[in-house]
Amino acid sequence: MGTKLLSLACIRGTGAGDGYSGGLLGRPHYPSMPKYPKGVVVEVEEATEGRVLLSVSGMSCSACAGSVEKAVKRLPGIKEAVVDVLNNRAQVLFYPNFVNEETIREAIEDVGFEATIITEETNEKSTQICRILIKGMTCTTCSSTVESALRSIHGVHRAQVALATEEAEVLYDPIIVSHNQFIKTIEDTGFEPILISTGEDMSNISLQIDGPWNDFSINMIQESLQALPGVVKVDMDTNLRKCSVSYKADLTGPRSFIKVIESTGSGSSGPFKAKIFPKGGGRDSHRHEEINQYKRSFMWSLVFTVPVFLTSMVFMYIPGPKHLLDTKIVNMMTVGHLVRWILSTPVQFFIGRRFYTGSYKSLRHGSANMDVLIALGTNAAYFYSVYSVLRAAASPHFEATDFFETSAMLISFILLGKYLEVMAKGKTSEAIAKLMDLTPDTATLLSFDSQGNVVNEEEIDSRLIQRNDVIKILPGAKVASDGFVTWGQSHVNESMITGEARPVGKRKGDPVIGGTVNENGVLHIKATRVGSESALSQIVQLVESAQMAKAPVQKLADRISKFFVPLVIFFSFSTWLAWFLAGKFDGYPKSWIPSSMDSFQLALQFGISVMVIACPCALGLATPTAVMVGTGIGASQGVLIKGGQALESAHKVDCIVFDKTGTLTIGKPQVVNTRLLKNMVLKEFYELIAAAEVNSEHPLAKAIVEYAKKFRGDEENPVWAEAQNFESITGHGVRAIVQNKEIIVGNKSLILKKNINISIDAEEILTEIEELAQTGILVCIDGQLTGVLAISDPLKPGAREVISILGSMKVKSIVVTGDNWGTANSIAKEVGIDDVIAEAKPEDKAEKVKELQALGHVVAMVGDGINDSPALVAADVGMAIGAGTDIAIEAADIVLMKSNLEDVITAIDLSRKTFTRIRLNYIWALGYNLLGIPIAAGVLFPFTGFRLPPWIAGAAMAASSVSVVCCSLLLKYYKRPRMLETLEMQGITTV
């Protein structure tokens, strides 16, 4: 996923920077020049787009990035250009009819930087991620075995296997190894792998094909599909009549596949019909199938086990049936013995064969899992019973005591436990299912004639939408795909994605997000990102990856699991031997032995009970199930937590470093006051400084230019005077020659550096501005201080209350900003923060984080822009705020999709609640085994006469796993802290 995250991070809209400071500020953004040369009329919707990724060396700050972006956007035919100064890359969307990649590269070199075109295939495929569903894992021993096997493959960079989701995620080099080798390796370890996805730029779809299936037609369809451009792989499943296609969404799509399939079969082979395969053949269907398998196995086991239970424990106390069951057949073998033997055999060897299979595969690879314990325990009970019955049949004096009910009931209870466990585990990922359900089932596809008039409307499955399709969205309907508006006006409710409560106005050219709700007005949407590329899919992928990642606390369970089963077997054998020897050498009174058995049988029952009561599953599920539920709940609340590591670190946070602009403040600075120190017409004053600032990418510069536009009336894109010898002084301001006048716009330190005198009046004005928590910008014309601008960036609603709540949670708050000390102190005072670091460059922010860590603090950094990235990486927990739909921010551990500061509290509180649940799970799992094993071994028997029968021990083992999963599921009822529910933020109450 790394490459895609990089490209998404490259095109995100970063928040405003902090003052005139920092070496790496928010990315520049200049409006593109006209898309086509004058006089050329082309419909944008019909144009073919190209994309090029370039490596740009020589950029040292965002002023450089601004120069590159501006140079590219001056070219005709450029749709969008984004420069990532941190990674020295530029991504450009363009129209090949008017400009090519080489021209773009030369334009960058013309402004003084070295540019190289990155070959997409090489870059994209340097690493890939493969996701595989693994069936048959029962405990952490299984997942550890598979994980070790995958990691040992040459070319694998990282492999993670999650027991709770039953999935493996492998990061690998496709040049060295292929995903087929992963499938084979998993099969060799004894489990059944099912490929979910491979690669990063492929979409997958499964189609159901009805028609005359035979070898000829199968080959013909497969070859026809593989011949299509963009099709990577085609798999045919003859049993399910299913065709699975992996493809590149920018080159082809599912409707093309259906058309090819139906046209391929129109000849002598007969007609074919294709449609989307029900449930897509994905992991949900496999989970459903697994639930049904355990349910069927349990129901069949009941058919045989209930009669065994009745004949051994109920009918023996009813005279009529007892007489029949005690009737002897051969010597001392009775009807009851034979009936129980016959009924328990199918349960032991057919219904319970999964435990034999699992044991064999586990032992073959030198490990022992839960299946080994179950197989040993049930076999000991079954085969001793067989021996006892056969000895009774051969002897006229030996009275047999069988344990057939023990083996049959053990298997039945364990199957019931696994059935309940699988059902509960399925509920842990309900949050992901709800996210995926945001997309509508159907969409209205529009067809146009050559004049652009709608000629046809067709309702299709939303999964059949392809890139560049135009979709009609009616009022009240959900948007079917990511794209942009080509016709119509409306308001769209985007709260389910961005958290923005108020509907957002949409008109032609505005972007829309799939899954959001169109409130009023009809819209025509052109699809740009479909399938796995959509914002919703990206969120789901991020949450799924987070659920795969193991929390450090899980290492405890992994270490225990390596020795757990062998130790249990040792304890079980020791228990049997101790009780057997004690009985043989009269170590306890004969009265302790129940009348229906001897000392050997009593010892055997204790040994079997120890073996089957121990539960490695509960330990293995303690952490991942809680992490799954916690990350899923976080996603539903707009808090995307990237895995167990971030979750574990967040619950320990005791110090938060806040960026100012765009984090504590709204991030949209505005000029609120102008004070002239020389006689000058205000319009002429702003004409000069706007001409200089229009060349800067800084948020404050944009605010000045935006303010200057009002002196131009209704002119939307005014042309400013040409600025010569433009110079951006990083962290200070700009300098340029405009209309033969030297213009300097910047902070106080820049003016002093230029040896320009700052009058007492100007000093007083600056002090007054900073006391109002505003930023003061000085303007010099021809070496004379001419004016002072006051720029304000209002606090976010509820900022002060949030800081207060964090204080009550024993979390210290600090402001680190690139703005001046006066403004920083005023903002900090307003929100209630005592510790302030101002005029800090990005590297200074990271250093401050490291200083706090050296003092023993667990530090979270909350920021919104590129200039915060070094600090986000340095912090124990990086929180990116205000990300909107751009959820792929590499530097952050937690992405706060909404712009609400209170989500910082939600993230910390949710992590604390999740880890409380994990601790409870471990207390339950470890405590259960530590208490259960001694009781099963008969510690209480000498004092109380209490003995735990093996079948009850088996039921308890099954119940422990279910209990741990249900304990994790209680997180689904998580509510934000009550203090947030009633928090009044400047007249707005959160709900």
| Residue pLDDT, tens place only, 603-662 | 888 888 888 787 666 777 777 788 888 888 887 777 888 777 788 888 888 999 888 777
pLDDT tens, residue by residue, 737-789: 988 889 999 888 888 888 888 888 888 888 888 888 788 889 999 888 989 99
Is the pLDDT score of 61 beyond 70?
no
Contacts of 383 (CB under 8 A, 6+ apart): none
User: Which residue from 913, 886, 918 is spatially nearest to 640, judged by alpha carbons?
Assistant: 886
For the segment 568-593, the average pLDDT, to the nearest whole number, is 86
For the segment 108-114, the average pLDDT, to the nearest whole number, is 81
Phi and psi based region of residue 700 (left: phi greater than 0; alpha: psi -120 to 50; beta: remaining): alpha
Percent of the chain predicted with pLDDT > 90: 2
Is the pLDDT score of 472 beyond 50?
yes
Is the pLDDT score of 346 beyond 90?
yes
Q: Which two tokens stand for residue 296?
A: 């069927």
pLDDT tens, residue by residue, 359-377: 887 777 777 777 887 888 7
Torsion of CA 117, 120, 121, 124, to 10 degrees: 130
For the segment 561-572, the average pLDDT, to the nearest whole number, is 81
pLDDT at 46: 41
Is the pLDDT score of 96 beyond 60?
yes
Contacts of 574 (CB under 8 A, 6+ apart): none
For the segment 539-568, the average pLDDT, to the nearest whole number, is 71
Q: Would you tell me which CATH number, out of the four given (3.40.50.300, 3.90.660.10, 3.90.380.10, 3.30.70.100), belongs to the domain 203-279?
A: 3.30.70.100
Torsion of CA 892, 894, 898, 899, to 10 degrees: -50
Torsion of CA 623, 625, 631, 632, to 10 degrees: -170
Class of domain 128-198 as given by CATH: alpha beta
Q: Would you tell me which CATH number, out of the four given (3.40.50.1220, 3.30.980.10, 3.40.50.720, 3.40.50.1000), belongs to the domain 639-665+807-897?
A: 3.40.50.1000
Q: Identify whether 903 is a catalytic site residue.
A: no
For residue 234, list its beta bridge partners. 245
The number of angstroms, rounded, from the C-alpha of 467 to the middle of its chain's C-alpha atoms is 24
Judge contact between 404 and 341, C-beta under 8 A: yes
The pLDDT-based confidence of 345 (bands split at 50, 70, 90) is very high
Neighbours of 339 (CB within 10 A): 18
| Every domain of the chain and the residues it spans | 50-118, 128-198, 203-279, 284-435, 453-533, 552-625+912-973, 639-665+807-897, 670-792
Least confident of 219-223, 560-564, 713-717: 713-717
For the segment 199-218, the average pLDDT, to the nearest whole number, is 72
Is the pLDDT score of 677 beyond 60?
yes
3-class SS of residue 571: helix
- The H or E element that residue 89 is part of is strand 89-94
Give 97 or 490, the one with higher predicted confidence. 490
β 859-863/128-135 pair status = unpaired
- The H or E element that residue 941 is part of is helix 941-944
Which pTM value belongs to this model? 0.65
Q: Which single residue is written with the structure tokens 């067709």? A: 458
Is the pLDDT score of 119 beyond 80?
no
Q: Which two tokens stand for residue 632?
A: 């899923």
Judge contact between 28 and 13, C-beta under 8 A: no
| 639-665+807-897 and 670-792 in the same fold | no
pLDDT at 300: 92
pLDDT tens, residue by residue, 873-904: 778 888 887 653 343 355 677 888 777 788 88
Average pLDDT, the chain: 77
Judge contact between 702 and 50, C-beta under 8 A: no
Give Dmax (Cα) for the chain. Answer: 127
| CA atoms within a 13 Å half-sphere pointing along the CA-CB vector of 269 | 20
The pLDDT-based confidence of 122 (bands split at 50, 70, 90) is very low
pLDDT tens, residue by residue, 829-888: 888 888 888 877 767 788 888 888 888 888 888 887 656 777 777 788 888 876 533 433
**Candidate list 84, 659, 819, 903, residue with the active-site label:** 659
The pLDDT-based confidence of 426 (bands split at 50, 70, 90) is low
Would you state the CATH architecture of domain 670-792? Answer: 3-Layer(aba) Sandwich (3.40)
Q: Please give the C-alpha separations between residue 43 and each of 37, 46, 172, 449, in angstroms, as whole numbers.
A: 13, 5, 42, 13
For the segment 428-452, the average pLDDT, to the nearest whole number, is 75
Is the pLDDT score of 85 beyond 70?
no
pLDDT tens, residue by residue, 898-945: 777 888 888 899 989 888 888 888 888 787 778 888 888 888 888 888
* Range 50-118 has CATH code 3.30.70.100: yes
The dihedral through the CA atoms of 604, 605, 606, 610 has a sign that is positive
Question: Residue 660 carries which DSSP code?
Answer: I
Is the pLDDT score of 37 beyond 50?
no
* Range 453-533 has CATH code 3.40.50.150: no
Separation between Cα atoms, residue 5 and residue 888, nearest integer Å:
5
